[in-house]
Amino acid sequence: MRKGTSRRDFLKQSALFGVSVGFWVGTERDLLAQAEPKSALDKINFACIGVGGKGQSDTEQAARFGNIVAICDIDDRPLNKMAERFPEARKYHDFRKMLDEMGNKIDAVVISTPDHTHAVAAVLAMRMGKHAYVQKPLTHNVYEARLLRETARKFKVCTQMGNQGTASPVLRRGVEVIRAGVIGPVKEVHVWTNRPVWRQAPQIMQRPKPEPVPEYVKWDLFLGPAPERPYSSVYHPFGWRGWWDFGTGALGDMGCHTANLPYMALKLHYPTSVEAQAGDVNPETYPSWAHVVWEFPAREGMPPVVFHWYEGRRDGQLLRPPKELLQRILDSGVKQIASSGCIMVGEKGLLYSPSDYGGEWQLIPRELEAEAKKVPQTLPRNKDGGDTGMKAELAMAIRENKPEIAMSNFDYAGPLTEFILLGNVAIKAGAKLQWDGENFRITNNSEANRYLRREYRKGWEI
């Protein structure tokens, strides 16, 4: 690279000599082959924050499209394991130090930490001009989701949230079919989940007894922006999902997956209201069950929508959509209702997806399939789909300098996450809330606005 040309400028310029983004609009193509680097200079330098659990596969997939130059984790066990896989990557426990020391060597970050540190890491990186791949849910609270979207726009970076169903050709076909009106106007959506699969209410609603911090865990860095509390193995490495301070519960964990197909297909944006019924609500852990209902206004010729979410067990029974609706699906020949899924209810029929990721669906009655086959393709196709396909989209977006190539970029993922996490606000508030999305405020319950964001521990403010 010539003197005065940054790596980011080089990647933009080199795209002019590669494949035009025009391929993205046509028929299904092998995006992985297009996105993989053709030379050493064509490689994107990734820094991976959180390399255990989901972070392990995220790091390995990112490596297909560039160099892993830095890895960061608060736990030495996954950090050292990943260091064996990428011995040239510099190791860090604190992503703030990593970005400070290696900022000029990093093009993009991959963030796969617990939910409560997503936004702090992403905002810091994007303000330095780094592109960002952030696991779902995009953030820990509603305010952070808005902030990430605004920050990505301001600093003109390419972004992607890791809800891998977005890359599925089957999900995108479902979007086209619904938008074409095959099942008629949709006024009602039902989404349910088999989560939680971790401990929260009613099994646990009080903090566990403190334990000695293991040598391999940097507990203060795990806490990040969250209030200080003693270490317990109940929180790390997996149980954090069920705690208000760290996770986002069943709704945050799976909503950005299972609600993705209807949210995209129906062109939903800001809801006008949200309310929730929930069991065993407490200040420490997420509830034992919840039924959340959002109302969306009419938009682009589509009618208003009432959107339902079901999680957990009530009186020993899994929460599910109304029995008569499920019976319509069983009467169509489906042998068993899936443990997670969604139903869009149209005037002419249903779309039923038994998949968290929208990668499988069917129309009811089956006669609608003939009409669906006539619907033209209007969305681009990612042949490979899934997690690796999501990284391929981000890599191509960076090289082409076109953020829209990554279809779960923060302009889409931000509002999706806001909508989902407003459900947790309603669970805390215990009342129906009127939402003014444009002005980012709850209009009928000023006290509930405090649940839109958190207080940040000193040194972790954003």
- Spatial distance between the Cα atoms of 323 and 331, rounded to a whole number of angstroms: 12
Mean residue pLDDT of the chain comes to 93
Calculate what percentage of the chain has a pLDDT beyond 90.
89
Tell me the backbone φ, ψ of residue 436, rounded to 5 degrees. Answer: -105, 90
Domain 7-167+382-409 bears CATH identifier 3.40.50.12240 = no
Q: In what side-by-side order are the strands of the sheet with 131-135?
A: 90-92, 66-72, 44-49, 108-111, 131-135, 159-162
- Give the pLDDT score at 189: 99
78: nearest Cα among 62, 68, 93, 99: 93
Q: What confidence tier does 384 reach under pLDDT thresholds 50, 70, 90? A: confident
Domain locations along the chain: 7-167+382-409, 170-379+417-452
Q: Is the pTM of this model over 0.85?
A: yes
- Give the pLDDT score at 20: 32
Cα atoms found within 13 Å of the Cα of residue 28, Cβ hemisphere only? 12
pLDDT in tens, 242-295: 999 999 999 999 999 999 999 999 999 999 999 999 999 999 999 999 999 999
- Spatial distance between the Cα atoms of 387 and 62, rounded to a whole number of angstroms: 10
Q: What confidence tier does 29 reach under pLDDT thresholds 50, 70, 90? A: low
pLDDT in tens, 161-214: 999 999 999 999 999 999 999 999 999 999 999 999 999 999 999 999 999 999
- Give the pLDDT score at 42: 76
Asked whether residue 320 carries a pLDDT value surpassing 90, the answer given is yes
Among the four given CATH numbers 3.90.226.10, 3.30.360.10, 3.90.1300.10, 3.40.640.10, the one describing domain 170-379+417-452:
3.30.360.10
Are 177 and 352 a contacting pair, CB within 8 Å? no
Are 112 and 122 a contacting pair, CB within 8 Å? no
45: nearest Cα among 19, 6, 84: 6
Cα atoms found within 13 Å of the Cα of residue 116, Cβ hemisphere only? 23
- Spatial distance between the Cα atoms of 276 and 425, rounded to a whole number of angstroms: 9
pLDDT in tens, 419-461: 999 999 999 999 999 999 999 999 999 999 999 999 999 999 9
Tell me the backbone φ, ψ of residue 277, rounded to 5 degrees. Answer: -110, 140
- Spatial distance between the Cα atoms of 364 and 342, rounded to a whole number of angstroms: 13
Give the total residue count for the chain: 462
Q: List the structure tokens of 347.
A: 């005037």
pLDDT in tens, 288-311: 999 999 999 999 999 999 999 999
